[in-house]
Structure 1
Amino acid sequence: MLCQTDRGTGELRTLWRVNPLVMALSMALLPASGLALAEAPDMVAVPVQAGRDGSGKPVAHDAGAGHDVPVELPALTVTARQGVERAKDIPFGLSVISGRELEVRHLLTLDDALRSMPDVNVNSNGGPNSANVMIRGVGSLNAVSMDDGSVALNVDGVTMSMRNMSLGTLDIERVEVLKGPQGTLFGGNSLAGAVNVTTRRPTREMEGHVRVEYGQERQHLEEAVISGPLSGQLSGRFAIRNTGSDLWVDNTQTGQPLSKPGDLAFRGSLLWDVTAGTSALLIAERQQIRRSPSLTILRPYGEPPKLDFTPNLFDDDKKTMARYSLELNHDLGASRITSITAYTTTDFFTVGGYDRRIMQALMGGTPEASVKEDSSAQRGVSEDLRWSSLPGAPLFWVAGLNLSHADRHFDTYYMPGYRQDRRYRVRSSAVYGEATYPLTDALKLTGGLRQSWDRKSYDATYTQGSSSGDNRELDDHYTTGRVALSYALTPASNLYVVLSRGYQSGGFSDYSATVAGGEPYKPARSNTAELGFKTESADRRFSLNAALFATRVRDAHLLGYDYKTYSTNTVNADSDSKGVELEGYWRFGDGFELSGGLSVIDATITSDALGVSGGDVRAGNRTPDVPRWGGNLALSYRKPLPSFLGLPSPAVNARLGYQYVGARPADPQNHFDLGSYRRVDLRVGLTAGNAEIYLYGNNLLDEQYDLYGYYNNATATFGSPVRGRTAGIGLNYHF
């Protein structure tokens, strides 16, 4: 090993000169030390490898020391309010999952990440376009269109369709889940909260990693990231990931997996530091999910679960998402101007329906499968222009203008002569602002307001032998906002109370099959009160967040069906949700960390709703998909090891995670419950230098719990099970 001085920085740079075979063996022996440790918030004493500090930067350090060097961990920062702030200073509840944690917990999609949180529930049939997310028991009772959601999705400042929760977690810095109405900064469809995703940016130092995995059911992952300077002012970053597996559901006719899902994603970004206070960030990303069908399986599922469809029926299933954005930042001394311009696309084609087993249960005899095809394409353009305070300023404030335009079609084909072709257009504009003002040294007042204007149009052609057309328009304008007080009990602890108003826009259903079904659905409204407490010790060894909350929703959306006109419609019902949540961690020394969360939620429907698909809904019914109890607990461990086999700075790291989700109603009618479940995941790794090799096991208890449930009649209920127990091995190398 040699060291030389960098002429530009004066720092020492470590140069390795090794035999290629030795390098290959070292890589095969294990992943991420320096860089991975810098990202991980799970330690206070961070082992520093020879020649690098905790961030991976070169330092003059004795390569043979091999001791723990205390490194002060920075406070957790987030961009929940469109500016960089400490998480404990935010006057509402939020949870954060770092990029390192996503990797360690094997959370490959946003859907996976959200399911891992005790107060977040996801209803999905396993397909990439079906997620309906609820936070704290609040959300769409039935999502009646791809525009109908109560949780906003924002990626690098760009609003995405809430049906893109299947996005992969490739090269992500962190995922923030913001709880309670977020209409001030995220707009109309954030009645329950928002998911704010920040991807990693180009760096001024060369870095990257290569990661591969292989596991049971032919699960595989190949990933590579490289980042660094391209010139004195220009930096670039490129990330790519390919994953695939056998589906965990078999085809009755072949005895083989029903399909072989695959997922290919990449992202490229360029950062131009024009001057000390001016920068431009260009991002282009694309993800394509293939052969990942929506699953509707007769319950009980059997082992393994099976569907009776024609082989290769789902080979053409595909969903493609793309985002192209340009972010400009310019500092004006004591403030900052930010502009984010984006173009997004979402296309999908999927085959779905009832297999022969379900049709037999419904009709008797030996019927054929009932199959339909859905296809959609969406194009969106958006601009967010805002003026804000600088990070760390004593007075936080932001004011902005948001404009967006989206065109979408959604077409359904059942059989020759029977189809629906639908076209949707949404034009939105909004002005918004929020500020936190210090009333005293300890007491702060926060206020935020947003005024939005939406115009939506709908054109459809329904073909059932003959054709009929329909076209409609809808104008809507609404105000959302919040007011909060926060009090610093100590420099490390804050108490807050917040009142907020949320809104879920009206629109047009994706399920309309006749002119009668084209009536627009009404918007939903919510009012939320929250009392919370946040504390984080000065040495970052301990953190605890707690909140009491209550939300009242008016006119939540349900899918209706009129048996006289054979048309779908949207029915409205009111709901209430109240509860308590806890979240925290404790780094108690010797490399151990204990972390966890708990939620207790009482969510009920408070008004009758007649004419709902599946039967009438009665006041007092529990809200679907929301358990009364949920929680998780994890024990993490990292310990440097004595040197052996010539490995540089070896260390063992492990994480054992436990999650409990209580029983929850399958539907608004409360026909039946989806059973409670317990999930145990384990990861054990050995690091050496810049490499790590690890073993992982997911769902070790092999519980066959439900992703969702649907009631047809007393003898026929449908749903989809989760993948059972799987294990695999992975290799990660950082540079």
Structure 2
Amino acid sequence: MSLASLSLLLLASTAPAPAGVLRDDPVPAVSADEEQAKPAQQSSGGEIVVTARRREEKVQDVPIAISVIGGSTIENSGNTNLNRLQTALPAVQFYSSNPRNSAINIRGLGAPFGLTNDGIEQGVGFYLDQVYIGRIGASTFDFVDVERVEVLRGPQGTLYGKNTTAGAINITTRAPSFTPEAKIEFGIGSYDQITAKASVSGPLSDNVALRISSALTSREGTIDNVRTGEDLHKQRTSSFRGQLLWKVNEDIDLTFAGDWNLQNPLCCVQYYARVGATQRPLARQYAALATALGYAPPSTDPFDRKTDLDAEINSRQEIGGASLVANWNLGPATLTSVSAWRYWDWQPKNDRDFIGLPITTVSQNPSQQKQFSQELRLASNGDGRLDYTLGAFFFHQTINTQGSQVQGPAASRWLLSGADALNPNVLNGLTSTNTINFDNTSFALFGKLNWEPVDGFHVAPGLRLNYDKKSGYYDSVVSIRNAQFNFTATADNVAALLAAFPNPSAGRTTFLNQTNTLAPQRYSPRFSDWNVSGDITVAYDFTPDIHAYATYARSFKSGGINLSGLPLNSTNTGVDLSTQTVKPEKVNHFEIGLKTQFLDRRLTFNAAGFWTEITDYQATVNNNAINVIRGYLANAGKVRSRGFEWDASFRPSRAANVYFNGAYTDAKYVDFKNAPCPPELSGGTALSVDSSGNLSGTPSAPGTPGGNSRPYCNISGQVLPGISKWSLSWGGEVRQPVGDGDVYLGYDGSWRSKFSSNPSQSAYTWIDAYSLSNVRLGWRRADFNIYGWVRNVFDKQYFELLSVQSGSTGLIVGQPGDPRTYGLTVSKSF
């Protein structure tokens, strides 16, 4: 128990009990039957209660672009994690090449596209029962016993903190109940899928209630590794959650919670998708290299779902934590304390060359995160002319990463040119061992007002003062041990090792090839900064069911430090220490919205238009620095995202409901002159740039073998990666009474237009538009539900991601989405 929470408890034991009774369970103002009938995404549909502004409010009264998905809808639709849920949320994008390399974006903004860098934070805040989750990788768990998911679009920096420049996702689990209840669920499906879930809740005494929930999921993989005989992209999850609610008296309650989640799906592998032309010499592009090494992929059709990856695959992660939420009703206001400790243990193994050749035989970055957070909030009670929320927030996070990369006997031929390319020993066994540490401390004071000077007119200003302090440590030691080479290079001795070779000499060239492939370096970046963010919203209630609002927000995302290696300086004598840190993102956001309900609230239509500009946008670059394997962070000048969205639902009768939601998003780089070049403009002779910005030669046309390559590209005006211009979701459900229950048929569809899957737009990495359809047919009553389901009904073949193999060989690898799956689920409540 934190000091703040303990203080609340001690004070509460002697405080008089103000008037007011806390509810046993947060209950939306709709019946249980209506909750079962809600569409897969809903931001209306009756008086649904949310906590988007850190207080309970009807969703239609909240002047924020917000989508709400109920727990029963999540269970019935099979959208049991963020990756699946995004199909019901047109403005949300979730990408994951593995759990650590995951990103949540809203309206195309949030995190840079590419591999994760420990020193950068996300732009979409993720909250579980009011607890901020510091890494998106720790948000990839399956939902268990969830009451609702709230998705807040647009900057939420006042109440939700510094790193919510694109929005926030707020998950609320079901609370302990003083009415005994239990539920079990069992399901089977294709690919030998088995799911089992159970929850039980009830009183332990007159003022103490307990809820326990658990879930197991097992499914065989959808991708066949023909080399090992193992199937990949499995589902292997186990989870447990316990909550204890203690009502000290009428005005004070404490909720103790703990959760644990274990996953090892052998997931997210990428393999041969297609080949493009680069500016490497033709003999060093993919086709020639594969021929020289006698290699052919098991299939050139990625939807045969066959690969031959030769490195060990692992994606084990363990997620867990404990929290204490204390509420004290003081009469005019409620004081809330949220204390939490969480951890995330990531144990990966990857095949980073993506093919069945021993090029990179080991590539992994096991990470362990621990975080502690403490939040105090004072929120006014009642429906007066002036409501307020005031608070303070403290957060401390550590991340320890033990990286390693090992090159194999095919690496010399694949990565090098000249005589060294023909000598496997030059890179065989070359090993980089990285020690990476990160320490992050943040403190904030915040406040939000809601003033109603006249009936129906609301003014809601907010302000947040934030302090960040970050420090890191990066140390890469490079070694090789084989029949020809034996050395260890560190940041301290690499210059002395190089000096032992005459200049020029073959030995010097070989040593540079080795240390440029994996570079020894050490540095300790530091960053600290104060920031002030704020917003103001004006809203007007034309009628009880028609509301309009306009918002301006000035927000920021915390500055970062580079913890994936740095590029060399201009003289190639050491790392460029000026690239250790990246500046905070600064956001200007404008939004207008309309929330409406008609026909006795059976028809809901909400719409929002937005314009967001971010200066000093944090992006991944490489600048042809071959010694930076994973890229590093830099600030792009400016990006812009603008568009409009709508959520519409209609319930003509109890027997049917339909919904249709959509988003149009125009997201572009406004100013990004030092971006990484796409593969068709990479791999050739790197041109240099003088102090005036003049190139040392003429760049070659895209895909010119042996051409001249720019050191970086100006991609100003290009679209941001990962975001479709149009994204739609639609569906509904019809029901017919049969016996003492209902037969029902549900459908959920989604479509998104094409999008770029590379930080810089490339002809080879566009993912075509695709549509997905999911159906379910079943029978249910209040305490029982049985239904069959089919996901991806038409077996659509599509990619979740396309990536470029490092080294500009021209190989494009992909991560396919799941094929058609089907199954049967039965649940029973007691």
Range class of TM-score, shorter chain: 0.7 to 0.9
Supply the distance in 2 between the matched residues of 1:110 and 1:564 (Cα, whole angstroms): 34
- 1:698-717 alignment runs, 5 A limit: 698-712=791-805, 713=808, 715-717=810-812
Structure 2 distance, partners of 1:521, 1:41, is 48
Q: 1:529 to 1:714 in 2, by over 3 A?
A: farther
Which amino acid in 2 is paired with 1:170?
V
Label 1:317 to 1:627 Cα distance change in 2 as closer, same or farther (>3 A): closer
When residues 356 and 192 of structure 1 are mapped into structure 2, their CA distance, relative to the original with a 3 A threshold, is closer
Residue 734 of structure 2 is aligned to residue 631 of structure 1: no
- Any residues of structure 2 matched to 1:517-528 within 5 Å, and which? 519-528=580-589
1:473 aligns with 2:526: yes
Question: Who is 1:132 aligned against?
Answer: 103
- Mapped to 1, the partners of 2:91 and 2:585 lie a distance apart of 21
Which residues of structure 2 form unaligned runs of 5+? Answer: 1-29, 275-300, 407-428, 479-487, 492-521, 568-574, 679-711
Contact 1:462–1:513, Cα closer than 8 Å, also in 2: no
Residue 369 (structure 1) shift: 5.3
- Deviations 1:629-648 (Å, cap 9, x if unpaired)? 1101112112211x3xxxxx
Aligned match for 1:490, one of 531, 534, 543: 543
Amino acid at match of 1:727: Y
Report the alpha carbon displacement of residue 368 of structure 1 after superposing the two structures with TM. 4.7
Q: Which of 543, 550, 555 lines up with 1:502 in the alignment?
A: 555
In structure 2, relative to structure 1, the CA distance for the partners of 1:294 and 1:411 (3 Å cut) is farther
Q: Aligned ranges for residues 220-299 of structure 1 at < 5 Å?
A: 220-258=194-232, 260-299=234-273
For residues 181-224 of structure 1, give each alpha carbon's deviation from its aligned partner in whole angstroms, at most 9, with x where no partner exists: 11111111111001111111001101121001111011221000
Q: Which moved more, 1:559-568 or 1:168-177?
A: 559-568
Deviation at residue 458 of structure 1 after TM alignment: 0.5
Match of 1:157 among 130, 140, 146: 130
**In structure 2, C-alpha distance between the alignment counterparts of 1:688 and 1:332, rounded to whole Å:** 41
SS in 1 for 2:176: coil
Deviates more, 1:251-260 or 1:227-236: 251-260
CA distance in 1, matches of 2:752, 2:626: 40
Q: What's the CA shift for 1:454?
A: 0.5
Aligned residue for 2:458?
A: 444
Question: Which is worse superposed, 413-422 or 79-88?
Answer: 413-422
Please report how far the alpha carbon of residue 298 of structure 1 lies from its aligned counterpart in structure 2 after TM superposition: 1.6
In the alignment, which residue of structure 1 is the partner of 2:827?
A: 732
Aligned letter for 2:444?
A
Tell me if the contact between 2:124 and 2:168 (Cα under 8 Å) persists in the aligned partners.
yes
Mapping for residues 10-409 of structure 1, pairs under 5 Å: 37=33, 39-40=35-36, 42=38, 75-125=47-97, 127-142=98-113, 144-146=116-118, 147-160=120-133, 161-258=135-232, 260-300=234-274, 301-310=301-310, 313-314=312-313, 316-354=314-352, 357=355, 367-368=358-359, 370-390=361-381, 392=383, 395-409=386-400
- Structure 2 distance, partners of 1:447, 1:224, is 43
Closer, same or farther: CA 138–373 of 1 in aligned 2, 3 Å? closer
Q: Name the CA distance, whole Å, in 2 between partners of 1:303 and 1:427.
A: 45
CA RMSD of aligned residues (A): 2.3
Q: Alpha-carbon deviation of 1:164?
A: 2.5
Q: Counterpart of 1:467 in structure 2: which amino acid?
A: T
SS of the aligned residue for 2:72 comes to helix
Q: How many residues align?
A: 658
Q: Secondary structure at the match of 1:111?
A: helix
Q: Who is 1:552 aligned against?
A: 613
Q: 2 CA distance for matches of 1:290 and 1:679?
A: 26
Do the aligned residues in 1 keep the contact of 2:38 with 2:73 (CA within 8 Å)?
A: no
Q: Is the 8 A contact 2:186 2:196 kept in 1?
A: yes
Cα distance in 1, alignment partners of residues 117 and 664 from structure 2: 29
Any conservation in 1 of the 2:113–2:722 contact (CA below 8 Å)? no
* Equivalence for 2:435: 421
Question: Partner of 1:571 in structure 2?
Answer: 634
Local SS of the residue matching 1:169:
coil
CA offsets 1:386-419 (integer angstroms, 9 cap, x no match): 1001265553310001011111112211136411
Aligned partner of residue 556 in structure 1, secondary structure: strand
Seq. identity, %: 25
| Deviation sequence 1:102-154 (CA, Å, 0-9, x none) | 111101112321343111112222x2222212212222333652442110101
Determine if contact 2:113/2:721 at 8 Å carries over to the other structure. Answer: no
Say if 2:670 is the partner of 1:670: no
The farther-off stretch of 292-301 and 717-726 is: 292-301
- The corresponding residue for 1:12 is none
- Greater shift, 328-337 or 248-257, is seen at 248-257
Q: Identify if the C-alpha distance between structure 1 residues 107 and 324 changes in structure 2 by more than 3 Å, giving closer, same or farther.
A: same
Aligned counterparts of 1:711 and 1:674: Cα–Cα separation in 2: 13
One-letter code aligned to 1:98: G
**More divergent stretch after superposition (568-577 vs 438-447):** 568-577
CA distance in 2, matches of 1:624, 1:345: 30
Code of the residue aligned with 1:466 in structure 2: it is A
Alignment correspondent of 2:672: 608
How much does 1:38 deviate? 5.9
Give 2:778's aligned amino acid. G
Amino acid of the structure 2 residue aligned with 1:534 = K
Aligned to 2:561, the other structure's residue is in SS state coil
The 8 Å contact of residues 153 and 167 in structure 2, kept in 1 or not, is answered as yes
Q: Distance in 1 between matches of 2:31 and 2:822?
A: 26
Residues 578, 204 of structure 1: CA spacing in aligned structure 2 closer, same or farther, 3 A cutoff? same
Shift in Å, 1:562? 4.3
- Quote the residue 1:18 is aligned against: none
CA deviation profile, 1:628-672 (whole Å, cap 9, x unmatched): 11101112112211x3xxxxx131122111111110111232103
Cα distance between partner residues in 2 of 1:449 and 1:74: 31
Structure whose alpha-carbon radius of gyration is higher:
2
TM value normalised by structure 1? 0.86
Give the 3-state SS of the residue equivalent to 1:185 in structure 2.
helix
Letter in 1 for 2:718: N
Distance 1:185 1:103 in 2: 29
Counterpart position of 1:15:
none
3-state DSSP class of the match of 1:39?
helix
Measured in 1, the distance between the counterparts of 2:348 and 2:576 equals 26
Structure 1 stretch displaced more, 523-532 or 383-392: 383-392
